[in-house]
């Protein structure tokens, strides 16, 4: 229902109708604010998701690098064990 329609109903009705229309307008305004809050929350959640993805990528990269270094150290220790006996 549009504001103009609500205004027309309000002018044609009695005091109870005016109260209902005012409540309807307040509810409409409140729901609009809730919708705006949800949109802002969705944007924040998307930002957190992107941050988590970046952190996970960095952690995976670090883990791969660490595994590579450990494998290299294991090869070196094995070579030293063979030669040093």
Structure confidence at residue 1 (pLDDT): 62
Structure confidence at residue 75 (pLDDT): 95
Per-10-residue mean pLDDT of the chain, 85 residues long, equals: 71 76 88 97 98 97 96 94 79
Structure confidence at residue 4 (pLDDT): 77
Going from N- to C-terminal start, the domains of the chain cover: 55-85
CB 17 within 8 A of CB 10: yes
Structure confidence at residue 33 (pLDDT): 97
Structure confidence at residue 85 (pLDDT): 55
Structure confidence at residue 42 (pLDDT): 97
Between CA 33 and CA 27 the distance in angstroms is 10
Reported pTM: 0.59
């Amino acid at each position: 229902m549009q504001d103009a329609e609500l205004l027309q109903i309000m002018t044609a009705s009695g005091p109870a109708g005016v109260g209902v229309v005012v409540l309807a307008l307040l509810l409409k305004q409140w729901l609009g604010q809730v919708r705006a809050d949800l949109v802002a929350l969705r944007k924040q959640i998307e930002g957190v998701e992107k941050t988590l993805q970046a952190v996970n990528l960095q952690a995976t990269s670090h883990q791969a690098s660490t595994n590579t270094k450990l494998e290299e150290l294991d090869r070196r220790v094995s070579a030293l064990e063979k030669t040093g006996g």
